[in-house]
Amino acid sequence: MVWDKNEKALTTVGGRIEVNEDIDTALNRETIKEAGLILESKRVPIAAWYWESTDTYTVFVMASVKDYGIMPEGFETTGRVTMNFETARQIISKIEGEGLRLEILEIAESVFEQQFKS
C-alpha cells in the first residue's frame, strides 16, 4: 500500500493502462512511479470488475517485490507501507469496517498461500 498525500489515506498502488501498453507494462510503470517497487515477473490476478459508468475495469494483481527502489518525488504518493495480512485486516476493519477491501484481502491471502509462499 502507499500513502496518498492528496486523499490523506492508505491506498493500493494503481493507475490506468496507457495507449499501446499491456497490463504488465502498466503494473511496472505504476509500481515504480507510486511506490518505487520493482516487481517479479510472476503476477496473479485476484479480483476484477467492470465499471459501466466509466467503461473501465478494476483489476487487483498480486506479485512479489523483486527490489525496493527510491521513492520518486512529485507524485501523488509519499511512501510505501508494508504490512502483513493480519495488520492490514486490522487497519482496514478499524478504518472502513466490513466490506469489499476485506474481501479482496481474504482472496489475496489465499492466493499468497497457494501461489507465492515457499
Q: What is the pLDDT along the chain (118 residues), one digit of tens a residue?
A: 898 888 888 888 888 899 999 999 999 999 999 999 999 999 999 999 899 999 988 899 999 999 999 888 888 888 899 999 999 999 989 988 899 889 999 999 999 999 998 7
Please say whether the beta carbons of 37 and 85 come within 8 A.
no
Cell of 38: 520493482
Chain-centre distance for alpha carbon 47? 11
Give this prediction's pTM.
0.81
Rounded distance, CA 28 to CA 15, Å?
A: 11
pLDDT value at residue 35: 93
C-alpha cell at 66: 523483486
- Return the closest-CA partner of residue 78 out of 24, 20, 10, 18: 10
Task: Give the model's pLDDT for residue 23.
Answer: 92
